[in-house]
Amino acid sequence: MNASTRIYIAGHRGMVGSAIWRALEANGYTHLIGRTSSELDLRNQAEVQHFFEQEKPEVVIDAAARVGGILANHEFPYQFLMENMQIQNNLIEAALKADVSKFIFLGSSCIYPKLAPQPLKEDYLLTGPLEPTNEWYAVAKITGVKACEAIRKQFGKDYISLMPTNLYGPYDNFDLKTSHVLPAMIRKFHDACRSTVSSDQFAVAAEHLPVTLWGSGMPMREFLYVEDLAEAVVFALENTFQDNLYNVGTGEDLTIRELAEMIQKIVGHTGEIIWDSTKPDGTPRKLMDVSKMTQAGWKAKTSLEEGIRKTYEWFLQHQDSFKEVKI
């Protein structure tokens, strides 16, 4: 790699893609290529093929995907399965035809079986049933991993897959209908602190009102600040890895209840947290074994509390673009 290497970042406007773009610029790369969804429909094979013929990227980083939380996966299973396969298959096939030298495919820890031993090792892929609440997205991502592995095996190309744990950070999705757990909590606690509820005699400050969260609060999750993932991608770009699949995370987790209490404190909400146990918990635990990535020479550096504070600061700077949730 050199500063003028032609690097195409698919999904460069999203939380992950934009972080990768900023990290590459910070590391001196000057020929970055990006297209918005209105400029290039990655679901359209002909459009993608034409784009590769015109732009001739030397490296492709696939950060494009249809993503969402439990609710979105439950309501739109076909779209989560089909659109993600279309996006990644078109990119991988076009890259192979264009003789792209390096392809970095980004997936998710949900590719691993629901009840796999903890922490999750790369070898656990396809050893058991998936978590039903996000299996559609997971199946799509598994096909991407195996496609890159097949190209690596058959054609000897440097195509690798990075599987990040739960991500959060600037440009996250804070829409309560489609967001993941961490940004959804930030949004709920924030909106509660800035509302009031009127009674017959007085108005009660909303920071003292309860906030309802899904599930029991007992599942354990690991979270990675998106800027750290971006640095991992730069590291993978600049180095040759021996295997095709690597977990990317912190190697540390906490309960959803502990996460909620941390976010509540950072946001400044002082009311009660009510756990709605009628809602699904999802996988009991998802902790990544990151030893392969550590041995390769990369390690996350941002603590969870520091990352949440940075994310909330970004949220406050952009809060005018978010509609208030009625309490």
Three-state secondary structure call for residue 261: helix
Could you tell me if 296 and 237 are in contact, meaning their C-beta atoms sit under 8 angstroms apart? no
Is 101 annotated as belonging to a binding site? no
- The verdict on whether residue 12 carries a ligand-binding annotation is yes
Annotated binding-site residue? 38: no
Residue 21 labelled as part of a binding site: no
Q: In the beta sheet, which residues pair with residue 151?
A: none
Residue 137 appears among annotated catalytic residues: yes
> Given 8, 29, 112, 137, which residue is catalytic?
137
- Is 156 annotated in a binding site? The answer is no
Tokens (6 digits) for 7: 């690097």
- Residue 284: what residue type? P
11 assigned ligand-binding residue: yes
271 belongs to an annotated ligand binding site: no
Torsion of CA 235, 237, 240, 246, to 10 degrees: 70
17 is in an annotated binding site: yes
Confirm whether residue 68 is marked as ligand binding: no
Buried-exposed string 76-95: b where 16+ CB fall within 10 A, e elsewhere = beeebbebbbbbbbbbbbbb
Q: How far apart are CA 193 and CA 197, in angstroms?
A: 11
Q: Where is the binding site for NADP(+), in residues?
A: 11-17, 106-109, 141, 164-167, 180
Q: Where is the binding site for substrate, in residues?
A: 188, 214, 221, 281
Residues involved in catalysis = 137
Q: Where is the binding site, in residues?
A: 11-17, 106-109, 141, 164-167, 180, 188, 214, 221, 281
